[in-house]
Amino acid sequence: MKALRLHRAGELRLHEEPEPRAADGEILVHVTAVGLCGSDRHWFVGGGIGDAVLERPLVLGHEFAGVVASGGARVGERVALDPAVPCGRCDVCVAGLGHLCRTGRFAGHGSTDGALRTSLAWPEALAHTVPDRIPDVEAALLEPLGVALHALDLGHVRAGTRTGVFGCGPLGLLLVQVVSASGGKTVVATDPLAHRRAAAGTAGADQAIDPADLARGGLELDVAFETAGTDEALADAIDCVRPGGRVVLVGIPEDDRTSFLASSARRKGLTLLLSRRMRQPDLPRAIRLAEHGDVDLGSLLGERHSLDDWDDAFAALVERRTLKVVVEP
């Protein structure tokens, strides 16, 4: 099989490797589509993310779908896979917070290879059936949709909730859509890139503007989602939320540090929440939303590349020249 491995920051190599074997409780999956994420960009550009650093040549990719190649009655089934493998036994997992498991594995992170390869073995319990209505290339976007749903829940978005999305990459655009599907309203969405602002307007944001043109004060949002990973976006979010409101931090900062003016947040008595990945029920929720047409995953698709064309795929990711980049092994 082919596998794309990150050897050091900025250095990917395509390898020929033996086909993986499924262990007990696992299935073999032929990978059909992998979405490239901002966290993959962190790994590629910096050789790590947060306090996690490259330990050995690593296969990136955690937004993935495929076809079951071994697994009894499930052979031939199209599936989307949860990239998080919690231990299932610790106090955190028992409390229903498996996405925060201290010892859990995650595809394309640390020492666990991800999906930028033609085949992989993965726990069968984490493989969810993809309905015929969802094409393979869109099935790779179900994981980030699950992440958006988890952030939405942290924001307590309900019918009539006034929200803002600060950063309109694919995750921010999915948040605009799920806010609308929940009956909320995205009053403002900001991004410095024109093609992302245009997509935010199409996704349902009332205003889609450059952060440099954001009017200070007067918006009185109930909830703000910071999805850019920058202090500037967080400052805008804090400034635009009403007293007693909520700010959900979803973006990952480049230098693993986030700072904000304490007085602004304190005087408003804001609740700040940090969102990590998705919970296990969120991927099935995402599949149902996409199946019923409540979100349009296809609207996020930018460029599609083969695994052999990995250099151009990662160039698109680094340059942020499009929306979602998908690799089809």
Span 185-214, pLDDT tens digits: 999 999 999 999 999 999 999 999 999 999
Sequence-separated (6 or more) residues with CB below 8 Å from residue 11: none
User: What is the DSSP code (8-state) at residue 297?
Assistant: G
What is the Cα 183 distance to its own chain's centre? Answer: 22
Using alpha carbons, select from 221, 159, 160, 218 the residue that is nearest to residue 189.
221
Q: What is the pLDDT of residue 218?
A: 75
Asked whether 151 and 277 are in contact (CB, 8 A), the reply is no
Nearest by Cα to 201 from 177, 228, 227, 226: 177
Q: Is the dihedral of CA 250, 254, 116, 199 positive or negative?
A: positive
Positions in the chain whose pLDDT score sits under 50: none
Q: What is the mean pLDDT of the chain?
A: 95
Residue 155 DSSP class:
T
**pLDDT value of residue 170:** 96
| pLDDT for residue 216 | 72
Domains of the chain: 2-129+296-328 (3.90.180.10), 147-274 (3.40.50.720)
State residue 215's pLDDT score.
81
Q: How many Cβ atoms are within 10 Å of 93's Cβ, its own excluded? A: 19
Chain centroid to CA 220: 27
Of 102, 112, 173, 153, nearest to 275 by C-alpha is 153
Angle at 209 between CA 278 and CA 303, to 5 degrees: 55
Decide if 299 contacts 274 (C-beta within 8 A): no
pTM listed for this prediction: 0.95
